[in-house]
Amino acid sequence: MSDLALFDFDGTITWSDTWTPFMRMAISPVRLALGQVALSPVVVGYRLGAISASRGRSLAARVAFTGEDAAGIRQRGADYAARVLPGKVRPAAIERLEWHRARGDDVVIVSGSLDVYLKPWCAARQLECICTTLEERDGRLTGRYLNGDCSGAEKVRRVRQRYDLSRYELVYAYGDSGEDRELLELAHRKSYRWTEISSWKEVTAFEHPKAQ
């Protein structure tokens, strides 16, 4: 009986965010400049805690991608996956991925990152991928997501939709932020920022240790 290993991408497999650098690379300078003006209230709201990261990403995607040529954005995503992402990946994360594969486990990347670059990266490594998917109609992107942003509880919903968890003796999960909370709570073995924890309660102590 094999195990299931679920990995977040940004900040877990990678050293840092991959979403924002891709947006800066994929969008034209004019649209990028206009978007920065249009989204300035969103940025302020996020910094004040009034807008979630998930909502902020959705709004940014609407501004950035509405009406864009889908094939062109997908090609930029493939280029980003091939040329940029390798430099952002933690070697230790790849070692852990390979450890799971050597055991015969099913390994899945579960991420809010965009399909246009994450799927090519996963396909090149023969990894299963569950992620945020840009909606396309008649060769153009609508600026919306299919089934919403893949973060928080949505990660768990999609995992359960695709996998029968009763088939696995153990479920492992690896994450680095509050958007991974539900994914970690789903698992028998949980790793937060590459430190194994027994429950999410440990994360608060991990991030905000009491003063000595």
* pLDDT (0 to 100) of residue 49: 75
* pLDDT (0 to 100) of residue 206: 60
* pLDDT (0 to 100) of residue 114: 97
- The answer to which of 131-135, 170-174, 198-202 has the lowest mean pLDDT is 198-202
Could you read off the pLDDT of 6-58 as tens digits, one per residue? Answer: 999 999 999 999 999 999 898 877 666 666 756 677 566 667 676 777 887 88
Residue 147 has pLDDT above 70, yes or no: yes
3-state secondary structure 25-90: HHCCHHHHHHHHHHCHHHHHHHHCCCCCHHHHHHHHHHHHHCCCEHHHHHHHHHHHHHHCHHHHEC
Nearest of 117, 143, 123 to residue 10 by alpha carbon: 117
- The answer to which of 50-54, 148-152, 173-177 has the lowest mean pLDDT is 50-54
Nearest of 35, 13, 15 to residue 26 by alpha carbon: 35
Report the pLDDT averaged over residues 95-100: 97
Residue 79 has pLDDT above 90, yes or no: yes
Report the pLDDT averaged over residues 54-77: 90
* pLDDT (0 to 100) of residue 43: 63
Cα–Cα dist 145/143, whole Å: 7
* pLDDT (0 to 100) of residue 113: 96
The pTM of this model reads: 0.90
Report the pLDDT averaged over residues 52-71: 87
Choice between 212 and 137, residue whose per-residue pLDDT is larger: 137
Q: How confident is the model at residue 78 (pLDDT cuts 50, 70, 90)?
A: very high
Q: Return the CATH class of domain 4-207.
A: alpha beta
